[in-house]
Structure 1
Amino acid sequence: MDGHADEHFIPVARLAQLDERGRAVVRVGEEWVALVRVDGRLHAVQQACPHRGGPLSEGDQDGCLLYCPLHAWAFDVRTGDSPTHPGARVRIYAVRVIGDEIQVAASGRLPAP
């Protein structure tokens, strides 16, 4: 069980569409979302950094931290929180994989403060 039975998941990509770093950018409703693989598990976060809109999918990664390529703001892909800028966060989405199809919850959520 994925623990998200009440979520509405939509197909967004296939595993083969992830790049060599295990990333892809997909559309979920009206928002662009970055898919990021960490230790074999996929995470989904809003693509635009809340600071200046930098494309998070293009930033460096250190474990679960994804860095904005513009000003190096870091975000934890598991929680959306920034350890480098307290109070800053990105929207996260539940992800599941069925066969080779990647599905993302249609309603993103912000972690509780």
Structure 2
Amino acid sequence: MDEGQPDGRFIPVARLTALDARGRAVVQVGDTRVALVRVDGQLHALEDTCPHRGGSLHEGDLEGTLLHCPLHAWPFDVRTGLCPWRPDAKVRIYDVLVRGGEILIAASDRVPGR
């Protein structure tokens, strides 16, 4: 997890204690549900809604860095937001910062490939 000082791009979204036993949580940022997922000690943030059928990604199985949609198992890499099966399928990712037990994400999200 990144430690450091936030700049104006980062907004607080949760505390580390909000993560469940699997290292996951969902937060609301404006109109967007964002999944927080810990993989090998690194915290990642990505859009929680699968573009295929709208499944909540945080509920899916995690295999390495691939988080699978619980509805039809489409995988999304938590680091990039890309689906290795379908190059046109992607979800937004957010930069993450952890400071004093507080999780902050970048206020301006990015879409892979743009």
Amino acid at match of 2:30: G
Task: Output the CA distance in 2 between the equivalents of 1:7 and 1:84.
Answer: 36
TM-score (norm 1): 0.92
Within-5 A mapping of 1:64-83 = 64-83=65-84
1:42: which partner in 2?
A: 43
Within-5 A mapping of 1:8-87 = 8-87=9-88
SS in 2 for 1:86: coil
TM-score (norm 2): 0.91
Q: % of aligned pairs identical?
A: 64
1:102: which partner in 2?
A: 103
Structure 1 residues 70 and 7, CA gap change in structure 2 (3 angstroms): farther
Amino acid at match of 2:52: H
**C-alpha contact 1:34 1:46 (8 A) present in aligned 2:** yes
Amino acid at match of 1:69: P
Amino acid at match of 1:40: G
Task: Output the CA distance in 2 between the equivalents of 1:65 and 1:7.
Answer: 30
SS in 1 for 2:71: coil
Task: Output the CA distance in 1 between the equivalents of 2:71 and 2:27.
Answer: 20
CA drift at 1:6: 6.5
Runs of 4+ in 1 over 2 A off after TM superposition: none
Task: Output the CA distance in 2 between the equivalents of 1:108 and 1:49.
Answer: 16
